[in-house]
Amino acid sequence: MRVVSWTLAELAGPLSAAVGDSPDFRVLRPVAVDSDDPGGLTFCESRKYLRQLTAHAAGAVIVPPGLEVDRPHLIASKPRVAFETFLTMCRRPLPSRTGVHPTAIVDPLAEVDATASVGPYAVIEQGARIGAGVKVFPFCYVGENCVVGADTVLYPHVVLYQDVKVGARCVLHAHVTLGADGFGFRWDGRTQRKIEHVGGVLIGDDVEIGASSAVDRATAGATAVGDGVKLDNMVQIGHNARIGDHTVICGQSAVAGSSVLGERVTLAGQTGVADHVTVAGGVSFAARTLTTKDIPDPGVYYGVPARPLAEGLRIVARLPHLHERIEKLERGE
Amino acid sequence: MRVVSWTLAELAGPLSAAVGDSPDFRVLRPVAVDSDDPGGLTFCESRKYLRQLTAHAAGAVIVPPGLEVDRPHLIASKPRVAFETFLTMCRRPLPSRTGVHPTAIVDPLAEVDATASVGPYAVIEQGARIGAGVKVFPFCYVGENCVVGADTVLYPHVVLYQDVKVGARCVLHAHVTLGADGFGFRWDGRTQRKIEHVGGVLIGDDVEIGASSAVDRATAGATAVGDGVKLDNMVQIGHNARIGDHTVICGQSAVAGSSVLGERVTLAGQTGVADHVTVAGGVSFAARTLTTKDIPDPGVYYGVPARPLAEGLRIVARLPHLHERIEKLERGE
Amino acid sequence: MRVVSWTLAELAGPLSAAVGDSPDFRVLRPVAVDSDDPGGLTFCESRKYLRQLTAHAAGAVIVPPGLEVDRPHLIASKPRVAFETFLTMCRRPLPSRTGVHPTAIVDPLAEVDATASVGPYAVIEQGARIGAGVKVFPFCYVGENCVVGADTVLYPHVVLYQDVKVGARCVLHAHVTLGADGFGFRWDGRTQRKIEHVGGVLIGDDVEIGASSAVDRATAGATAVGDGVKLDNMVQIGHNARIGDHTVICGQSAVAGSSVLGERVTLAGQTGVADHVTVAGGVSFAARTLTTKDIPDPGVYYGVPARPLAEGLRIVARLPHLHERIEKLERGE
């Protein structure tokens, strides 16, 4: 593998930083603050980080103005942001080649832009349209009449069933499923009869969806995920749900059928929104929170059922002492 | 894509409905009640739906007898059921072709019925049997000695390890895993020693399993999922569990090893049944409920640990007020 | 399929057991204690098992010394351990063949050991190294610069993105994803900007990872899973987390970004560890437990938030009675 390196002087410009020391010192890669990698560049933005830095031997560090360090460093007003820029410079996309790999099976009635990359053993069905600059990695299945917008990446093993529209610049991670049937059955006295789902899925621009997450197709119409939404791994979005722009949903959370989330909602890990519930824009859920009712007001919520954070925390904090307090009263003290 | 349409007169028969108005009005697809699609047919069964309908412009609507509407409509005693029939008429199966695709790899010792469809890049191992009318979509792996019953559908990326028997008319969604090893280890003082799992998986008829769900193989014998069972996405069924007929398990729920669920159990989303637990037929769990003990009586349960619904709700409802009540007593009021 | 069978006399040696009766009796397979399989061998280690055994007709049984049974049997000091040895003897690996299948796509800059097996439709990217005796099953994607240690098994549909190192003798089940981007975004006032993840994943030796589980790549450095760790199905390990040796994590649990688990931690099903949390070695979580804070002391924990087991159970047990006790006090009794 080709090894890339940068001198601190070379990095100063791209990272909007000043060279604090040793402009010719070479770094090879970003590292955590507790790394001992002599070729690593890390960042330090607090006393806590400084302690870790001092105890370890990362080759160079990005520090804020006024912080003294004993090793090669860059000075930036926001070290973390400078470090994130360095991360972006170090990114190495998975290997892919423009064009359709000879083992990919593209239906004659599908359209693949000449600048797109369709990897080995991908299957693109009739009526599908793959936009400019799209990367379809191995083993992806892009079903009938699906549309993949410009510069979107489908990592290996993504499945789009049918009538799934994905916007531009999206990232779909391995084993994502978009457009599987919604979960709807009706007991007819003898069996659970399937309610057919004939709608689609509509994913906005700049959406990222984590490994093994799923967005079900709508009964009719479309399950809709807004622009800029970020879904972590193993997130489930039920049929006909609507997720507002720039909403962020962490791992192993679920939004059940027909629920509506506003813009910039944040759901922490392992949270849930039951079906047919509306959650206002700006709402945040702490980890493991669940609501089965509408949440009309922005704010942070916690618990099962979801309560405003301060109230939820208070209830939990008092819980261990209730018994003792009652006991004291019972003893007549 | 071919566009199909129906006049309301044409739909009246199949939907067991009367034409209320405009028999020649053409509809193209089912839509939600809040759709403005002029070619859409929706349904209305309540005041709430009527308000949404009136505020929107769906082309036509199915209404119950006696409900006045100002647009083309059908009249049915159960509008929702008539609508579901229309959904079924509109269903478009994913494209597949009878026969074995030339890129599929079928072991000479496997049997594939002549009426089955085995898609591109499917792998069928020795001793496997694929029944009449079965559809195996791309990238499925049907392992050694697996049996897939008539008219069952394996959507892309389904994995059956070995000795997995799937009944007739089942639907296995993308990324389902049946027959992976159960999770069993024994600490031997130095390492977690693997307990081998050499049993199989037995799936009944008319079972549907959602995207990225998994049913583990048994230690010995079989993990058994009964007829008519419906599992949503990301559901985990542990080794040697037994799931009774017509049971419904919603997303991100789990039944741990060796547990037994009776017939027509309903587990809402994100619920759990610990290992070696028996849950009676007819039990329902509200969302996020967990039991680590047997539940011998039918009924609805709620909470962690699972309690009868009314009791569980009461506890939760009183929780925020306990502190204030105790405080009042402490003040001697 | 070839049918293998053993006489009890043949099994006595490998199972460290004595033949209690009928040395020539032939058994075909391990079965559960409630099986009626006349060719089945089961085990019995308690009164409860004995009742089940007596009510059923498994052909033969392994019993402890001194337990009288009415059918062919073996006598072993630890019947369960002897049975587990029998399980190991009965294990039938999924079919695979040494060498690279002609449909596998191996980059010229990848190295595959001559004793490894690379199955149909696997993709191995540049710089990847596949060790001795490794089995790569169909549809696996082994990305750029990934390393797979000796005798590790990648079941169908495993995805390793890039810079993922897996140790020796590991088992990765179907649909596992290692090395997808960590979940990190920064709101810049207009959009959620992606924080690139350029680190890797480091999996120790003797690790098993269940179906549809995921370990995200680090921001920088590596997300690290120690030797002998066992992860069940649908487990999520966040970016930069570190999981100590021999830790066991059950289904649908998650360890969020940058958290550190010590050695021999046990997390039961549906549990969670929030981000940037440290959990000491020897800690166990009961099912559904969640911590958002460090847990410095070994022991068993329960609840949300995690509390020492006895305390957690006490709180839950008293909960239903608090209201009645307060009511009594309110009435002045």
Q: B36: distance to nearest CA of chain C, Å?
A: 30
Residue of A nearest to C303 (CA): A316
Q: How far is CA B166 from CA A218, A303, B60, in A?
A: 27, 40, 41
B169: left (phi over 0), alpha (psi -120 to 50) or beta: left
User: For an interface test with B, which of C91, C139, C233, C236 has the most B Cβ atoms less than 10 Å from its Cβ?
Assistant: C233
User: Cβ B198–C230 below 8 Å, yes or no?
Assistant: no
Q: Average per-residue pLDDT in chain B?
A: 96
Q: Closest to A87 (Cβ–Cβ): which among C144, C159, C198?
A: C198
Residue of C nearest to A319 (CA): C315
Chains that touch C (3 or more CB pairs under 8 A): A, B
User: For an interface test with A, which of B175, B265, B314 has the most A Cβ atoms less than 10 Å from its Cβ?
Assistant: B175
Chains that touch B (3 or more CB pairs under 8 A): A, C
- Catalytic residues of C, which ones? 239
DSSP A98-113: SEE-TT-EE-TT-EE-
Residues of C in contact with B122 (CB under 8 A): none
Residue of C nearest to A328 (CA): C329
pLDDT in tens, B161-193: 999 999 999 999 999 999 999 999 999 999 999
* Separation of alpha carbons B235 and B270, rounded Å: 9
For the sheet with A230-231, list strands across it.
Answer: A99-100, A117-118, A135-136, A153-154, A171-172, A208-209, A230-231, A248-249, A266-267, A283-285, A299-302, A307-308
Residue A1 pLDDT > 90, yes or no? no
Q: B218: distance to nearest CA of chain C, Å?
A: 9
Q: pLDDT tier at A4 (50, 70, 90 boundaries)? A: confident
Tell me the two tokens of residue B329.
Answer: 């007593």
Q: How far is CA A99 from CA A125, A203, C248, in A?
A: 17, 24, 44
pLDDT in tens, C257-290: 999 999 999 999 999 999 999 999 999 999 999 9
Residue C27 pLDDT > 90, yes or no? yes
Q: pLDDT tier at B235 (50, 70, 90 boundaries)? A: very high
Q: Closest to B290 (Cβ–Cβ): which among C232, C288, C330?
A: C288
pLDDT in tens, A169-192: 999 999 999 999 999 999 999 999
Q: What is the pLDDT of residue C2?
A: 58
Query: A200, A252, C99, C241: which is closest to B251 by C-alpha?
Result: A252
- Catalytic residues of A, which ones? 239
Query: A282, C233, C289: which is closest to B235 by C-alpha?
Result: C233
Q: What domains lie within chain B, and their CATH numbers?
A: 6-90 (3.40.1390.10), 99-310 (2.160.10.10)
Residue B1 pLDDT > 70, yes or no? no
Q: What is the pLDDT of residue C21?
A: 79
Would you say A95 and C125 are in contact if contact means Cβ atoms under 8 Å apart? yes
Please report, to the nearest 10 degrees, the dihedral formed by the alpha carbons of residues B284, B286, B287, B293 taken in order.
-70
Residues of A in contact with B206 (CB under 8 A): 191-192
* Separation of alpha carbons B27 and B13, rounded Å: 15
**Stretch B91-98: mean pLDDT:** 96
DSSP C19-88: E-S-TT-EE-EE--TT---TTEEEE--SHHHHHHHHHS--SEEEE-TT---SS-EEE-SSHHHHHHHHHH
**Stretch A212-231: mean pLDDT:** 98
Q: Closest to C95 (Cβ–Cβ): which among B125, B157, B314?
A: B125
Bridging pattern class, strands C254-255 and C272-273: parallel
Q: A269: distance to nearest CA of chain B, Å?
A: 12
pTM score of the predicted model: 0.97
Residue with tokens 């649909």: C175
Would you say A151 and B186 are in contact if contact means Cβ atoms under 8 Å apart? no
> How many beta-carbon pairs below 8 A join chains A and C?
174
Q: What is the pLDDT of residue B332?
A: 85
User: Cβ B314–C323 below 8 Å, yes or no?
Assistant: yes
ipTM here: 0.96
Q: What is the pLDDT of residue C237?
A: 98
Residues of C37-59 as b/e, b for ≥16 C-beta within 10 angstroms? Answer: bebbbbbbbeeebbebbeebebb
Amino acid identity of residue B257, one-letter, is G
**Stretch B192-213: mean pLDDT:** 97
**Stretch C75-84: mean pLDDT:** 96
Q: How far is CA B108 from CA A317, B115, C75, in A?
A: 65, 18, 43
Q: C32: distance to nearest CA of chain B, Å?
A: 6
Would you say B74 and B8 are in contact if contact means Cβ atoms under 8 Å apart? yes
Q: What is the pLDDT of residue C220?
A: 96
Residues of C in contact with B254 (CB under 8 A): 251-252, 269-270
Q: A101: distance to nearest CA of chain B, Å?
A: 15
pLDDT in tens, A25-40: 999 999 999 999 999 9
Residues of C in contact with A155 (CB under 8 A): 159, 161, 180
Angle ∠(B84,B87,B93) on CA atoms, nearest 5:
135
Residues of C in contact with A60 (CB under 8 A): none
* Separation of alpha carbons C197 and C182, rounded Å: 6
Rg of chain A, C-alpha, whole Å: 25
Q: pLDDT tier at B2 (50, 70, 90 boundaries)? A: low
Would you say A113 and A133 are in contact if contact means Cβ atoms under 8 Å apart? yes
Residue C1 pLDDT > 80, yes or no? no
Asked, as a colleague might, if the bond just before C38 is cis with ω within 30 of 0, I would say: no
* Separation of alpha carbons B259 and B263, rounded Å: 13
Residue A2 pLDDT > 80, yes or no? no
Q: pLDDT tier at B47 (50, 70, 90 boundaries)? A: confident
User: Cβ C234–B234 below 8 Å, yes or no?
Assistant: yes
Q: What is the pLDDT of residue B257?
A: 97
Tell me the two tokens of residue B172.
Answer: 């296995």
**Stretch C96-106: mean pLDDT:** 98
Among A228-242, C2-16, C70-84, name the one with the lowest average pLDDT: C2-16
User: Cβ B326–C326 below 8 Å, yes or no?
Assistant: yes
Residue with tokens 């009712």: A293
**Stretch A5-24: mean pLDDT:** 95
- Catalytic residues of B, which ones? 239
Residues in CB range of B332: below 8 A, 6 or more apart: none
Would you say B229 and B241 are in contact if contact means Cβ atoms under 8 Å apart? no
Q: CA B15 from chain center: how many Å?
A: 25
Residue with tokens 């890129």: B103
**Stretch B299-313: mean pLDDT:** 96
Q: What is the pLDDT of residue B48?
A: 82
A90: left (phi over 0), alpha (psi -120 to 50) or beta: alpha
User: Cβ C125–A95 below 8 Å, yes or no?
Assistant: yes
Q: What is the pLDDT of residue A47?
A: 81
Tell me the two tokens of residue B71.
Answer: 């647009």
Q: C305: distance to nearest CA of chain B, Å?
A: 13
Q: What is the pLDDT of residue B21?
A: 79
pLDDT in tens, A141-157: 999 999 999 999 999 99
Residue C180 pLDDT > 60, yes or no? yes
Residues of A in contact with C196 (CB under 8 A): 84, 87-88, 90-91
Q: How far is CA A252 from CA A175, A199, A273, C58, in A?
A: 14, 25, 12, 41
Residues of C in contact with B192 (CB under 8 A): 206, 228, 230, 246, 248
Q: What is the pLDDT of residue B272?
A: 98
